[in-house]
């Protein structure tokens, strides 16, 4: 009886995949003013609070990540200007982190991409400020010795789909809707 149970557990793990816990991450963002250029942008980081990647054999098939929105930080400024921008990003003008302290990304599919560097297209749903929208981005995915690594190419999403809008109507005209991101995640 024990052998049958053990066999069922092993077969179930193979059928549904093996979950790997996120052990390292680097999530970088860029936001733009009127013209989408480096000269008119701000950039920074946000921390991954938790996450997992699900492997079936040596293929990534799923997973989810929780972003700690309270950790959003502008890295292109220092001192008082950095503090002001960080406060601005965290308050009701943009991400409302007191009300929405986390955002989540759930992988719903991974398929082969014809790019030599970014060998996969990752599709999933981003939930930010209580709103969910699909996102697809190219990524380099590798798996070796029990460690899976996902490195995205820079990709964009429309902040307006998540009600991330400068509450002053005139001011929102001066901020581009696109937010660019680059994600690096390692799970073991």
> Could you tell me the mean pLDDT of each successive run of 10 residues in the chain, 188 residues long?
45 67 97 70 96 96 98 97 94 93 98 96 98 98 96 95 74 76 98
Q: What is the pLDDT of residue 16?
A: 64
Cα separation, 76 vs 85, in Å, equals 10
Query: In terms of Cα–Cα distance, which of 119, 30, 115 is closest to 76?
Result: 30
Q: What is the pLDDT of residue 91?
A: 93
- Sign for the CA dihedral angle at 98, 127, 35, 170 comes to negative
Q: Under a CB-based contact definition with an 8 Å cutoff, are residues 89 and 74 in contact?
A: yes
Q: Under a CB-based contact definition with an 8 Å cutoff, are residues 139 and 152 in contact?
A: yes
Instruction: Collect all residues with Cβ–Cβ distance below 8 Å to 15 and sequence separation of at least 6.
Output: none
Cα separation, 127 vs 177, in Å, equals 17
Instruction: Collect all residues with Cβ–Cβ distance below 8 Å to 150 and sequence separation of at least 6.
Output: 53, 60, 122, 139, 140, 141, 183, 184, 185, 186
Q: What is the pLDDT of residue 13?
A: 45
Work out how many domains the chain is built from and give that number. 1
Residue pLDDT, tens place only, 40-50: 789 999 999 99
Query: 169 in a domain, yes or no?
Result: yes
Helix (H, G, I), strand (E, B) or coil at 55: strand
Helix (H, G, I), strand (E, B) or coil at 112: strand
Q: What is the pLDDT of residue 177?
A: 87
Strands 59-74 and 102-112: antiparallel
Residue pLDDT, tens place only, 137-159: 999 999 999 999 999 999 999 99
Query: 4 in a domain, yes or no?
Result: no
Query: 9 in a domain, yes or no?
Result: no
- Look up the domain containing 149 and give its range: 18-187
Q: What pTM was estimated for this model as a whole?
A: 0.84
Q: What is the pLDDT of residue 6?
A: 40
Query: 2 in a domain, yes or no?
Result: no
Long-range contacts of residues 39-42, Cβ cutoff 8 Å, at least 24 apart: 41/76, 42/74, 42/76, 42/77, 42/85
């Amino acid at each position: 009886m024990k052998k049958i149970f053990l066999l069922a557990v092993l077969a179930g793990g193979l059928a549904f995949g093996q979950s790997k816990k996120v052990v390292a991450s680097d999530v970088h963002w860029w936001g733009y003013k009127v013209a989408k250029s480096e000269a008119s942008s701000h950039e920074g980081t946000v921390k991954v609070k938790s996450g997992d990647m699900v492997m079936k054999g040596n293929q990534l098939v799923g997973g989810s990540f929780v972003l700690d929105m309270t950790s959003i930080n502008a890295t292109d400024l220092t001192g008082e200007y950095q503090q002001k921008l960080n406060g601005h990003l965290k308050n009701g003008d943009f991400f409302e982190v007191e009300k929405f302290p986390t955002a989540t990304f759930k992988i719903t599919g991974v398929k082969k991409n014809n790019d030599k560097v970014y060998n996969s297209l990752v599709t999933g749903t981003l939930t930010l400020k209580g709103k969910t929208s699909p996102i697809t981005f190219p990524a380099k995915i590798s798996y070796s010795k029990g460690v899976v690594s996902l490195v995205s190419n820079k990709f964009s999403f429309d902040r307006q789909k998540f009600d991330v809008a400068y509450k002053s109507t005139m001011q929102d005209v001066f901020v581009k809707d696109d937010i660019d991101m680059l994600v690096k995640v390692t799970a073991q």
